[in-house]
A = this chain, B = another copy of it.
Amino acid sequence: MFEDTFAKQGVTYPQGFTAAGVKAGIKKSGNLDVAVIYTEKEAHIAGTFTTNAVAAAPVYASKRVVATGTAHAIAANAGCANACTGEQGDKDAAAMQEITAKALGCQPDDVIVASTGVIGVTLPMDKMEKGIKQAVAELSPTGSENAGNAIITTDTYSKCCATEVVIGGKNVRFGAIAKGSGMIQPNMATMLCFITTDAAISSKLLQKALSEVVETSFNMISVDGDMSTNDMVVVLANGAAGNEEITAEGADYEAFKSTLDDICKGLAQRIAADGEGATKFLTVHVTGAKSFADAKQAGMSVAKSPLVKTAFFGEDPNWGRVICAVGYSGVPMIPEKTVVKFGGIPVYAYGVGADVDMEALAKVMAQHDIVIDVELNEGDAEATVWTCDFSYEYVKINGEYHT
């Protein structure tokens, strides 16, 4: 990932954005749990949302905001997902919008709302109202770190980044905060990502760029279709950088999209690496597939396999589990044409185990970051999927995360 020197400035790095995170008493731990992000200058917006048929109330509310094309704010909380909460949930999501809008002096449909935490519990709206009002009062250009910490749940740290690129002769800034840790399939721990930029870009192209980069970033970690009830990625572009608004594809659009792609890939990788209980960060790189879809499917099959993941936790170079997961992935493959490498070392080649320098392989397996290459030799397409290992700690976190 790019050097994010200004990472901690996060969503407030672009011009015109402020943020805050406060303790509203929604998380049992008493940690920061309500975040507000604000731009006085109206922002063009884009969003991608969970495809789960059981989607949370804030997902529906925020989809309606994204459909309007513009917004001024994001209000989010952790500790309660406001999912499976029926009509009360819809009322509470609408109330979050109203409370935030009133405090900021904008309209309810200018406010994107997001929640993450336990499913099936209604929001404590008294605490929420107090928290939102306090967050709005504390909005500041240095508030991104608190906002980031207010949206995490089982994450071990808040993911954030900030970067700059020249578009149309102007310095354009991007910032983001993201959370998500239960990224082990099938995922239900919400992934949230809020991205701000001072670029001027039309809502239509902003949505196009976001939809495209999400395909090769957040949708390539082992969460994919198995999204939670609450997942969302939202971008706010307020145009404060003063570049000529991007309204058509071309060099400016490509520069914008490329930066957005870097940000999303970087954050997606960090989310996978910070998976619940993770001790390893695994990159599954599938090449020689007949299509990107095939390459992704084979990679996901490996990345989602508990047996592969537990083997890497145990630092066991058990390539049989990898080739087996490729074999049952449903992707056309011929064992006699396939090669598997761990950290660049061939472990399986053309139908049989490869002669391996076990000492060198043991060094690969001991590393934190490990690349698994799968070469199908069937075509020219490739895909990269990111995941983590599967440890005792995962079982502990999820066996003890009581409702």
Answer yes or no: A281 CB below 8 A from chain B CBs. Answer: no
Q: Which residues of B contact A84 (CB under 8 A)?
A: 320, 323, 335, 348, 351-353
Q: Among B188, B324, B352, point to the contact of A86 (Cβ < 8 A).
A: B352
Of the stretches A125-133, A380-388, A391-399, the one at the interface is: A391-399
Most chain B CB within a 10 A radius of its CB, from A55, A185, A227, A314 = A314
Contact bitstring A317-350, B, C-beta under 8 A = 1, else 0: 1111101111110101111000000000000100
Measured CA separation A301–B326 after assembly (Å)? 20
Chain B residues whose CB sits within 8 angstroms of the CB of A185 once the complex forms: 306
A392 touches B396 (CB 8 A): yes
> Number of contact residues on A: which range applies?
35 or more
> Across the interface, which residues of B come within 8 angstroms of A14, CB to CB?
none
Chain B residues contacting A353 (CB-CB under 8 Å) are 84, 120-121
- Measured in the bound complex, the distance between the Cα atoms of B370 and A312 in whole Å is 32
User: Cα distance A396–B316 when bound, in Å?
Assistant: 12
Q: In the complex the two chains form, is A328's CB within 8 Å of B395's CB?
A: no
Interface status of A83 (Cβ within 8 A of chain B): yes
For residue A243, CB closer than 8 A to chain B, the reply is: no
- State the main secondary structure of chain A at its contact with B: loop
Contact A310 B229 (CB under 8 A): no
Q: Which B residues are in CB contact (< 8 Å) with A310?
A: 394-395, 398-399
Q: Within the assembled complex, what's the spacing in Å between the Cα atoms of A51 and B188?
A: 30
A53 to B326 Cα, complex, angstroms? 8
A124 interface residue per 8 A CB criterion: no
**How many chain copies?**
2
Is A217 on the interface with B (CB-CB < 8 A)?
A: no
Asked if A363 is at the interface (CB within 8 A of a chain B CB), the reply is no
Smallest beta-carbon distance A269→chain B, Å: 21
Roughly how many angstroms separate A86 CA and B225 CA in the complex, as a whole number?
36
Chain B residue at smallest Cβ distance from A120: B353
Given the complex of chains A and B, what is the CA–CA distance between A11 and B118 in angstroms? 50
Say yes or no for A49: interface residue by CB 8 A criterion. Answer: no
The answer to whether the Cβ of A292 comes within 8 Å of any Cβ in the partner chain is: no
A316 touches B86 (CB 8 A): no
- Pairwise interchain contact A402-B86, C-beta atoms closer than 8 A: no
Q: Judge if A106 is at the interface, Cβ distance under 8 Å.
A: no
Given contacts A316-B402, A327-B229, A403-B317, contact A305 B186 (CB under 8 A): yes
A75 CB-CB contact with B under 8 Å: no
Cβ-defined contact, B399 with A328, below 8 A: no
Residues on B with C-beta less than 8 A from A211 are none
A selection of 15 A-B contacts at a CB cut-off of 8 Å is A53-B333, A53-B334, A119-B321, A119-B323, A185-B306, A186-B305, A186-B328, A188-B320, A188-B321, A226-B328, A227-B328, A228-B324, A306-B306, A316-B403, A392-B395
